[in-house]
Amino acid sequence: MRSARQARSGGTGTSVPVLLWIPAVVALALVVLPIVGLLTRTRLAEFPSLVTSESALAALDLSVRTAVASTVLCLVLGGPLAVVLARARIPGIRLLRAVVLLPLVLPPVVGGLALLYLLGRNGFAGKTIDTIFDVRIPFTTVAVVIAQTFVAMPFLVVALEGALRTAGERYEVVAATLGARPWTVFRRVTVPLVLPALGSGLVLSFARALGEFGATITFAGSLQGVTRTLPLEVYTLGETDVDGAVALSLVLVIVAVVVIAVARPRAVEGRL
């Protein structure tokens, strides 16, 4: 009986209880149907010309470049942060864990304002940078990357920290008792253990960075080729040309789907 059921459901692991199917389908519908709505409003004949306009291509190019850059930043900065949060034994670590989640709850526009008050011309860090290096961050592509990293990093940190804590320290302790140095333990034991979580965390961060709007427009502004990413372009275009905006948002969906489809299965299998 049991094996027959397993065979029907594809043969891998236990079968999904029937009771879960209904809410699962509703959940799927909630995600898929709005996209279908988007598709029904797209005039496919005009789609190619709408999405290959100069401004659309500039926005797509900028979006992909900045989202990749901020995903790398998430990995380089957020990865170690997750390890520290999961493993370090320092006072106040619980509070730190909560603080890291702030960008998730903060409305992005507020996040953008916060960045502006820190790194803007009159912000306490921005002022110093301006006087010493004569560099201003707002209205630059760097500002876009900072804004995206700010909102996207918690996704990586949460995914990774959770996996680290679930995996526990048993293997690391064993490796250490066998004489491995901390860096070797990290490289040969910790990282391989959490590779799937790292992969999905990166995909989440990239997706969030790609869709970033509020913090970017507040902190970086909106100028074609410099700071106007795809979501900003969609919004700007929506003021005059709703069809164009719908078509462009579809491009955003396609980019996201492609990235997730390519990266997700590998990430989950731990091959990255």
Partner 1 sequence: MKKLVAALAVAVLTTALTACGSDGEGGGGAPPRSRSLTVLAAASLTESFTVLEKSFEAANEGVDVKISFGGSAALAQQIINGSEVDVFASADEKNMAKVTAESLIDGEPEIFATNKLMIAVPPDNPAGIASFADLARPGVTVVVCAPQVPCGSAAEKVEQATGVTLAPASEEQDVKAVLTKVQAGEADAGLVYVTDVNSAADKVKGVEFPEADKAINSYPIAVVKDAPQADLAREFVKLVRGEEGKGELTKVGFTVP
Binding site for partner 1 (CB under 8 A): 8-9, 18, 21-22, 24-26, 28-29, 32-33, 113, 116-117, 120-122, 138-139, 217-218, 220-224, 227-228, 235-240, 242
Q: Which is nearer to partner 1, 154 or 214 (CB)?
A: 214
- Pick between residue 33 and residue 258 the one whose CB is nearest to partner 1: 33
Q: Does residue 11 sit in helix, strand or coil?
A: coil
- In angstroms, what is the minimal distance from the CB of 171 to partner 1? 38
Our CB check for partner 1 shows the closer of 10 and 91 to be 10
Cβ 5 to partner 1, closest distance in Å? 11
Residues, the chain, total? 272
Please say which residue, 23 or 92, places its beta carbon nearer to partner 1. 23
Residue 139: CB minimum distance to partner 1, A: 4
Residue 87: CB minimum distance to partner 1, A: 39
* Tokens 């797209």 sit on residue: 42
Q: Which is nearer to partner 1, 26 or 45 (CB)?
A: 26
Q: Distance between CA atoms of 249 and 235, rounded to whole angstroms?
A: 9
Rounded distance between C-alpha atoms, residue 125 and residue 128, angstroms: 5
- Name the residue among 230, 166, 163, 150 with its Cα closest to residue 201: 163
Of 122 and 177, CB closest to partner 1: 122
In angstroms, give the least distance from the CB of 59 to partner 1: 13
CB of 191 to partner 1, least distance (A): 36
User: Whose structure tokens read 């492609």?
Assistant: 258
**Within the chain, where are the H helices?**
2-8, 18-40, 47-51, 54-73, 79-87, 93-100, 102-105, 108-119, 124-133, 141-167, 170-177, 182-185, 191-211, 214-219, 230-238, 242-269
Which residue lies nearer to partner 1 by CB, 121 or 271?
Answer: 121
Taking the complex as a whole, how short is the minimal distance between the CB of residue 126 and partner 1, in angstroms? 9
Look at residues 169, 133, 119, 144 and name the one whose alpha carbon lies nearest to residue 230: 144
Find where tokens 């590998």 sit.
266
The whole-angstrom separation of Cα 111 and Cα 206 is 18
